[in-house]
Amino acid sequence: MRSAYLIVTIVAAIANLYAASADFTRPEWILSNMSRLGIPARWLPSLGWLKGLGAIGLLAGIAVPTIGVAAAAGLVLFFAGAMITAMRARWYAHLPYPLVWMLVAVASLALRMRTA
For the chain, domain boundaries = 2-115
pLDDT, tens digit only, all 116 positions of the chain: 899 999 999 999 999 999 999 999 999 999 999 999 999 999 999 999 999 999 999 999 999 999 999 999 999 999 999 999 999 999 999 999 999 999 999 999 999 999 86
Predicted local distance difference test score (pLDDT) of residue 116:
67
Alpha-carbon distance 64 to 67, whole Å?
6
Alpha-carbon distance 63 to 84, whole Å?
32
Alpha-carbon distance 11 to 69, whole Å?
16
Predicted local distance difference test score (pLDDT) of residue 1:
81
Is-above-0.85 flag for pTM?
A: yes
